[in-house]
């Protein structure tokens, strides 16, 4: 029977280090609410590059028909049936699409959810003074036209920007009047385009 040879010092040290690291605290779990949304990093996107919406069966995309987003070499990046409808035919930074639950959302170039798009007049919110309204977890914020959220989603009610300011409220109620709804709050205030509260 062979006598076991002693382990070299370096190997013993590495073994102990691996054992120590594996016994450390488990990695932190990302809360589900945080994991639901991504943030766009515009500094990493070449906006001269783009993806095109195309019919899932080949040819031009028609609104409401199955589609894919493909790069300029024809490689599919966002596959068919990932989303039901797209409001964006040329995806540079983000696209507005409708998911299988019927929710209008913004997605990045890999198809990851950025935010829910505030619906206005049966479509995506209009860009006013360079900003449009978006939602995360039921709260309203503002994104620039390239899809970066620049004013966090923190308001229960928020109007579009006009004259460099927007009327917002942290709490409000929605009142139905006929076929229309209206927001009511006793705590309206105005913010500027950086999200700072105005006097």
Q: What is the mean pLDDT of the chain?
A: 85
Q: Are 114 and 149 spatial neighbours (Cβ–Cβ below 8 Å)?
A: yes
Tokens coding 64: 């409401």
**Helix or strand holding residue 157 (H, E):** strand 157-158
Mean pLDDT of 42-55: 94
For residue 165, pLDDT over 50 is answered with: yes
Q: Is the dihedral of CA 124, 127, 130, 135 positive or negative?
A: negative
153 to 112, 135, 170: CA distances (angstroms): 18, 6, 11
pLDDT number for residue 122: 84
pLDDT number for residue 58: 83
């Amino acid at each position: 029977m062979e006598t076991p040879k002693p382990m070299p010092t370096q190997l013993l040290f590495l073994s102990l280090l691996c054992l120590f690291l594996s016994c450390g605290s488990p990695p932190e779990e990302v809360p589900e609410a945080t994991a639901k949304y991504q943030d766009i990093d515009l500094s990493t996107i070449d906006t001269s590059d783009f993806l095109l919406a195309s019919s899932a069966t080949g040819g031009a995309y028609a609104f409401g028909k199955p589609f894919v987003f493909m790069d300029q070499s024809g490689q599919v990046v966002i596959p068919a049936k990932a989303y039901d409808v797209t409001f964006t035919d040329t995806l540079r930074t983000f696209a507005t699409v409708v998911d299988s639950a019927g929710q209008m959302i913004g997605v990045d170039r890999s198809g990851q959810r950025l935010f829910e798009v505030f619906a206005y007049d049966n479509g995506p919110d209009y860009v006013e003074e360079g900003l449009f309204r978006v939602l995360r977890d039921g709260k309203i914020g503002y994104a620039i036209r390239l899809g970066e959220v620049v004013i966090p989603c923190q308001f229960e009610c928020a109007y579009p920007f006009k004259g460099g300011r927007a009327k917002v409220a942290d709490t409000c109620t929605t009142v139905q009047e006929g076929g229309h709804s209206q927001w009511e709050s006793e705590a309206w205030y105005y913010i500027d385009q950086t999200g700072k509260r105005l006097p």
